[in-house]
Structure 1
Amino acid sequence: MNTMRASVMTGVRTLQIEDRPVPTPGPHEVLVEVAAVGVCGSDVHYYREGRIGDFVVEDPMILGHELSGRIAAVGERVDPNRVGQRVAVEPQHPCRRCKQCTAGHYNLCPYMEFYATPPIDGAFCRYVTIDAEFAHPVPNSMSDEAAALLEPLSVAVTTMRKAKVAPGTSILIAGAGPIGVMCAQAARAFGAARIVVSDPLQSRRESALRFGATEVVDPFNEDVAALDPQVDAFVDASGAAPAVVSGIKAVGPAGHVVLVGMGSGDFALPIGYIQNMEIILTGVFRYTDTWPAAIHLVSSGAVDLDAMVTGRYDLEHVGEALDSDTDPASLKSIVVPK
């Protein structure tokens, strides 16, 4: 087979099915036949707005970067016995030579080529290539859909590491969308004793309780900043400025704040509180070395990704998949590129 079908974004809110050449794996790469692709908020941003910050879609591009599949072919430097192996794809290609890469922060590589980030194509198609070590083998007990969702779970794993979540700690999570719920599951798996999730929608608060939250808060009717007792860590998965400010104030002395949600570019923070409480504040930009941990969390039953899947779509209905987040009951939509 020399060509494959792909869902291509040709403009804002414009998709079309095209025949594209099947990519050829480089010497250290594998060719993956895609089995399942999760829909991410970044895909939705590109689809609806044509950009995320400085990343602008200027040419036709294939969206999708949360994926799993089966190795169909390998490059000349890759073990041929890997053909047929089920894998979850870590969708990035760092340069491996810059200061950030050699320091172990390959997610911050300035030369990064990341799936579905302009101008790199993503995975709403039949085949993709990736560096062999970024095609992570998954056990047969794991579904294709769960294997695809190891990518957003990796964001949650990185977040828990940065938030210093450990057995017995407490955490507040703002936003009960897909990443917020992933973070609630990860917090439980990391041993957090108290997991508070804030969201204005009752249906999403109820969803958070099903996936690990020990208590929920309606930020429109309760003062999140007055949370008592204060928490050890706060994670923002909403991108909403009021949620960030109130969440920071809910953190106790020497606590950790991790910003994950995409939202306003700039807004005022409670600097005096951050200084006086010695709050440690950081962000999350993708991940490094998280797939082994994520695979373990799912394989052991500590995290349930299959239960988060609320919709399935084929290539002809990618637009519907991208708009599925308008339904408050939707958590994760999956595209199956048959």
Structure 2
Amino acid sequence: MSIPSTMRASVLTAPKTIELKTVAIPEPQRGQVLVRVTAVGVCGSDTHFYETGAIGDIIVKGPIVLGHETAGEIVAVGEGVDSGRVGIRVAVEPQTPCRKCEFCKTGRYHLCRDILFYGAWPVDGSFSEYVIVDDDFAHAIPDRITDEQAALVEPLSVAVHAARRAGVKAGDKVLITGAGPIGIMNIQVAKALGATEVVISDPISHRREFALTHGADVAFDPTTGGLEDYEEYFDVFIDASGNARAILSAFPAVKRGGTACLVGMGGEELNVPIAMFQHREINLTGTFRYVNTWPTAIALLASGAVSVDGIVTGRYGLQDVEESLMKSKKDPMAIKTMVIPALTDVRAG
């Protein structure tokens, strides 16, 4: 196919300011591919970068394109990449490790100290018509997976990694706090791994209802109670909310020898009941993104073991990225928004 010389990209130029610009299409270098973007999911971290210009110690120091939950089609390849990859539809793993350090060499490349992440300064993300991707992190998807489903492989990978860190296994009873996209996917991953009971809490009624249609056995409102009957009941607790109150209220529900895994992004500190963790020998762990999860997440989607039907509640062109970033904060009915470059108004930019 013919590749134009320029593309449209939604560029964060300052906190709370995104401009649709016409920019040059980058050329893939050795080991890279050029992907025509077909769908990009909006993540809470994108919204945080938009609102504040920083997440933790990652500070935006200049114009940058956000977006990292990406699906697309390879349209060109760099040196050393098989030209037969052109035309292949892919789900993008949005990180570039150094590939040389101890962590990369032992298969824990997500812990690489020099890892770069798409849509986080200084690497441009995918709220654009084209994006450069490392060839080995552009994962082929089967025809039965749609573009939107492929974009959701990234948040599904968060859930897969969380389930692995938490050690979810057949017969487990699992508690999840937070019924947003990650929480919903954690339900289904836990069930796919053999969990026999999954309970989820969320204060928003329609999210609880959605969770019940996507594998949850029980969904309750934490603001009115619900955990009283679950003292030392769950083998695994996974937090997908980042809410300190939700996390602390869930700890007593973890049984002796169980595991609590913190996934949601919240405050920098949490007062943990150390005596409880010591006396019950509860394992407390967290997650940092994901590692070696894309093949598993793609297989779960392709097999139907995980369903993302109905999770996308809004679709936007590149001219409306700002609206898409704030949708979940302004609309309590929103679950997941998606940026579709093909929906971009031809008169915009």
Q: TM-score, normalised by structure 1?
A: 0.97
Question: How do 1:4-153 residues align onto structure 2 when only pairs under 5 Å count?
Answer: 4-153=7-156
The equivalent residue for 1:273 is 276
Secondary structure, aligned partner of 2:222: coil
Aligned mate of 2:297, from 286, 294, 298: 294
Among residues 327, 331, 336, which one is paired with 1:324 in the alignment? 327
Q: Please tell me the residue identity of whatever aligns with 2:313.
A: T
**What is the CA deviation profile of residues 145-196 of structure 1, one whole-angstrom value per residue up to 9, with x for unaligned ones?**
0001000000000011111112211110011111111111211222211101
- For residue 204 of structure 1, the aligned residue among 202, 207, 229 is 207
In the other structure, the counterpart of 2:339 is 335
Note the residue ranges of structure 1 that are not aligned, 5 or more in a row: none
The alignment covers a number of residue pairs equal to 338
For 2:225, the aligned partner's letter is: E
1:50 is matched by which residue type in structure 2? G
Partners of 1:295 and 1:244 lie apart in 2 by 30
Structure 2: distance between partners of 1:218 and 1:60: 41
Q: Is the CA contact (8 Å cut-off) linking 1:231 and 1:251 kept in structure 2?
A: yes
- Secondary structure of the residue aligned to 1:196 is strand
- 1:120, CA displacement in angstroms? 1.1
The match for 2:197 is: 194
Q: Is the 8 Å Cα contact of residues 174 and 195 (structure 2) preserved in structure 1?
A: yes
Please list, as runs of the form range in 1=range in 2, the aligned pairs for 1:174-185 lying within 5 A after superposition.
174-185=177-188
Distance 2:226 2:185 in 1: 24
Q: Counterpart of 2:319 in 1: which secondary structure?
A: helix
Deviation at 1:55, TM superposition (A): 1.2
Q: Distance in 2 between matches of 1:55 and 1:223?
A: 37
- Structure 1 contact 178–332 (Cα < 8 Å) conserved: yes
2:246 is equivalent to residue 261 of structure 1: no
Question: Is the contact made by 2:37 and 2:73 (CA closer than 8 Å) also made in structure 1?
Answer: yes
Tell me the percent identity. Answer: 50
Structure 1 counterpart of 2:333, one-letter code: A
Q: Is the 8 A contact 2:231 2:252 kept in 1?
A: no
Q: Structure 2 CA distance, aligned partners of 1:160 and 1:310?
A: 25
8 Å CA contact 2:231–2:255 kept in 1: the answer is no
Summarize the Cα distance change of 1:143–1:154 in structure 2 as closer, same or farther, 3 Å threshold. Answer: same
Q: 1:224 Cα shift? A: 2.5
- 2:199 touches 2:219 (CA, 8 Å); kept in 1? yes
The answer to whether the Cα contact below 8 Å between 1:162 and 1:258 also exists between their aligned partners in 2 is yes
1:242-281 per-residue CA deviation (whole Å, 9 max, x = no partner) reads 1111212210011111111111111211111111111111
Between the aligned partners of 2:125 and 2:142, the Cα distance in structure 1 is: 24
Q: Which amino acid aligns with 1:34?
A: V
- What amino acid sits opposite 1:308 in the alignment? I
TM-score scaled by length of structure 2: 0.94
Q: Which moved more, 1:64-73 or 1:50-59?
A: 50-59
The 8 Å contact of residues 257 and 282 in structure 2, kept in 1 or not, is answered as yes
| Offset of residue 219 of structure 1 | 1.2
Equivalent residue in structure 2 for 1:166, among 163, 166, 169: 169
The letter of the residue matching 1:191 is G
Which region of structure 1 is more displaced relative to structure 2, 227-236 or 23-32? 227-236
Q: Which structure 2 residues correspond to residues 293-312 of structure 1 after superposition, within 5 A?
A: 293-312=296-315
Structure 2: gaps (5+ residues): 343-349
Q: Select the residue among 226, 235, 244 that pairs with 1:241.
A: 244
AA aligned opposite 2:341: P
